[in-house]
Chains A and B, each alone.
Chain A
Amino acid sequence: MEKIIIIGAGPAGISAALYAARGNMDPLVIYNGIGDLEKAEKIENYYGLERPLSGAELFERGIAQAKALGVRFLEAQVLGIGGFDTFTVKTTEGDIDTESVILATGGKRSAPKIPGIREFEGRGVSYCAVCDAFFYRGKEVAVLGNSDFALHEAEELKNVTPSVTIYTDGKEPEFSREHPIAVNTMKIQAIEGGDRVSGLRLESETAAQGEGEAQPSFYPAEGVFVAMGTAGSTEIARQMGAELTEKGNIKVNEDMETTIPGLFAAGDCTGGLLQVAKAVYEGCAAGISAGKYVRRRRKSS
Chain B
Amino acid sequence: MEMTITTQNFEEEVLRSEKPVLVDFWATWCGPCMRQAPIVEELAGEGYSVGKVDVDQEPALAQKFQVMSIPTLIIFKDGKEAKRLVGLTAKDTLKALMDE
Contacts and interface: CB of A to CB of B under 8 A. Distances in A.
Interface of A: 82, 84, 121-124, 126, 128, 130-132, 134-136, 195-196, 223, 238-244, 259-260
B68 A196 contact: yes
Nearest to B37: A241
Kindly state the interface size class of chain B when it binds its partner.
20 to 34
Interface of B: 27, 29-36, 55-56, 62, 66-70, 72, 84, 86-88, 90
A82 B67 CA distance: 24
A122 B35 contact: no
B32 A134 contact: no
Given A121-B86, A134-B55, A135-B62, A239 B31 contact: yes
A132 B32 contact: no
Given A122-B87, A123-B66, A134-B55, A240 B34 contact: no
28 contacts: A122-B68, A122-B69, A122-B72, A122-B84, A122-B87, A123-B68, A126-B69, A128-B30, A128-B69, A130-B30, A131-B69, A132-B70, A134-B56, A134-B70, A135-B55, A135-B62, A135-B68, A135-B69, A238-B32, A238-B87, A239-B32, A240-B35, A241-B34, A241-B35, A241-B88, A242-B88, A243-B35, A243-B90
A259 B35 CA distance: 9
B31 to A, nearest CB: 5
B59 to A, nearest CB: 9
B70 A131 contact: yes
Across the A-B interface, the 9 shortest Cβ-Cβ residue pairs = A122-B86, A241-B32, A241-B35, A131-B30, A241-B31, A122-B69, A135-B68, A132-B69, A126-B69
B81 to A, nearest CB: 13
B76 to A, nearest CB: 17
In this complex, the member of B27, B34, B67, B87 whose beta carbon has the largest number of chain A beta carbons within 10 angstroms is B87
A101 to B, nearest CB: 13
A38 B69 CA distance: 36
B68 A223 contact: yes
Contact of B66 (A196, A238, A241, A260): A196
Nearest to B88: A241
Contact of A132 (B36, B66, B68): B68
A134 B32 CA distance: 15
Contacts of B62: 135
A128 B29 CA distance: 12
A179 B68 CA distance: 27
A196 B67 CA distance: 10
